[in-house]
Amino acid sequence: MKSRLFGWLYLGCLAVWATASVAEPLAEARQDHLDDLQAHYRNALRGDQVVQLGTEADPFLGLRLQQRTATPQGGVLILHDQGHNPNWPVRVQQTRHFLPDKGWNTLSIALPTTTAPGRESDEFARRMMDRIALGQQRLNQEGLFNIVLISFGDGAYWAARYMAERLQPDDEIGYALLMIDANPDRTDLPGYIGALDLPVLDLVYSDTDWARDQARERQAEAARNKLPKYSLILDAPAYTGTNTDRPGRTVRRIWGWLKRNAAGKEGEINTQPTE
């Protein structure tokens, strides 16, 4: 009995030692990977576009561009699809690049990856939404409080979930959500959409029956909750090409919708304590 207990204690100590010995190299590998990405983007883009966000335990990359007009509109936080990156061609790349021509600061952030969409741990979900929160805070620190989340694929699920779970009802003023080809396999997405009393554009290019059925489920959930600010557009698939010299069809649709539904207004923020 004593020898068996000793064996369990030994294995427990071995597990603790192994965890401690692996944690430091893993953190170093994560930082090395981030440094490599930053170096790549600084070489490929203007260096001032590249920012490091996050905490010491979970640093991540952001790509930012300042608006290029005399009439600033606000900030756009861009969330890419699962397995993509903050400068993924063509739609993510064009969105972050061309919206500054219409008065929007853009920040596209790197999201954590998962091998099991729909079966992520609570820790993964917390990490994902913390990154979105830090991206939003970065825009706020730049004086931007009219915030739009533009999200692609699986990023659309996390954007809607973040807004439903992290924003208080009073916080929804000044926020908007655009989803492009939201992942139809996230069958709990309609529930999050039904909780959002803010402007939402649900843009679907996919022509599969499953994707369109799920889009109509989201539309029905918005209708059941009497949310007139939700809008679904089922569009025919369109070839966007790789031309980065002019905005493609998706970006032009985003421009028009933002102008009608999320245009920024100048205002003063009361920072004095209230009674």
Task: Give exposure, 212-247, as e/b (b: 16+ Cβ within 10 Å).
Answer: eebbebbbebbeeeebeebbbeeeeeeebeeeeeeb
Q: What's the pLDDT at 235?
A: 86
| 3 state DSSP class of 150 | strand
Q: pLDDT exceeding 70 applies to what percent of the chain?
A: 79
Q: What is the mean pLDDT of residues 230-238?
A: 83
Average model confidence (pLDDT) across the chain: 84
DSSP 152-189: ETHHHHHHHHHHHHH--GGGGTTEEEEEES--TT-TTH
What's the pLDDT tens digit per position in 62-110?
A: 999 999 999 999 999 999 999 999 999 999 999 999 999 999 999 999 9
Q: Is the pLDDT of residue 233 over 90?
A: yes
Environment class of 249 (CB within 10 Å of its CB; exposed 0-12, middle 13-18, buried 19+): middle
pTM: 0.83
More confident residue, 116 or 188: 188
Q: Tell which wins on pLDDT, 208 or 37.
A: 208
Residue 7: the pLDDT is 41
Question: Residue 117, class by beta-carbon neighbours within 10 Å (0-12 exposed, 13-18 middle, 19+ buried)?
Answer: middle
Question: What DSSP assignment string belongs to 184-206?
Answer: TT-TTHHHHHTT--S-EEEEE--
Q: Higher pLDDT residue, 261 or 116?
A: 261
Out of 110-114, 189-193, 224-228, 244-248, pick the least confident: 244-248
**Does 90 sit behind a cis peptide bond, omega within 30 degrees of 0 on the bond before it?**
yes
> Is the pLDDT reported for residue 17 higher than 70?
no
Q: How confident is the model at residue 132 (pLDDT cuts 50, 70, 90)?
A: very high
Question: Comparing 42 with 149, which gets the higher pLDDT?
Answer: 149
pLDDT score at 31:
53
What pLDDT, on the 0 to 100 scale, is given for residue 208? Answer: 94
* Mean local confidence (pLDDT), 230-249: 74
Instruction: With a cut of 50, say whether residue 16 has pLDDT above it.
Output: no
Instruction: Give the mean pLDDT of 162-174.
Output: 83
